Amino acid sequence: MSIKAAVQHNSLYSKSASNDDRKVIRHVWAEALRIISEKYKSEEVSDEIYVADIIELKDLMNNQFSDYFMSETHPKFNYDPGFRISHSQKSIVVYLKHLWCLGEIKAPPQCPVDAIILKVAGQKYPNTKWTHINSIDEHLSQVEILSKMAGDLPLPEWELKSFSTS
C-alpha cells in the first residue's frame, strides 16, 4: 500500500516499462522498505537517520532501475525524471505509519507529506504540490510547515488525527 501511495498521483515509470518490469521494481522496492523498517523496530530513529533513509532509497532505486523510470522532465507537470524524494519519503513513511499503527514500531520521526495534509496545514495550491519534490531541503521545508501546524503534538500523531478528520 505504501508503494501504491507513492505512485498513485506521482508519475514514475517510462512508457517502455512493462508490467513484469514494474513487478520486479515493486518487489525490490518492498524489500528495501522492509530492510529500512528494521531499525525502527528496535529504537527511536532520529530525523537525521530518517532523512538518510529517504536519500538512500532514492539512490538505490535510481541506480538499479533508472532505465525503467521516466527519463525526461514530465511534459505536463514539469517535474524531474526518475525516482524522486517524493516517491521515497511517501513510501517509507506510509509503511512506517502502518507499522506504528499496528504497534510494531515507535512513532516515525515524520509523517507522510502530500496534498491532503498540506491543505490541512492551511496551504493552498500551488503550495500543496508534493510530487515534484526532488531535494531534501524542499521536503524539509514542507515538513517544517506541518510541524508548525502540529504545535506541541508529535508530527505523526498530529497527522494521524488530522488525516482521519479531513
> Can you give the residue ranges of every domain in the chain?
2-165
Residue 88 has, within 13 A of its CA and on its CB side, a CA count of 24
pTM comes to 0.93
DSSP 8-state code for residue 13: B
d(CA 13, CA 8): 12
Q: 21-72, pLDDT tens digit by residue?
A: 999 999 999 999 999 999 999 888 999 999 999 999 999 999 999 999 987 7
d(CA 140, CA 1): 23
DSSP secondary structure letters along 55-78: HHHHHHHHHHHGGGB--S--TTT-
Q: 77-111, pLDDT tens digit by residue?
A: 557 879 999 999 999 999 999 999 999 999 999 99
The span from the first CA to the last CA of the chain, in angstroms, equals 20
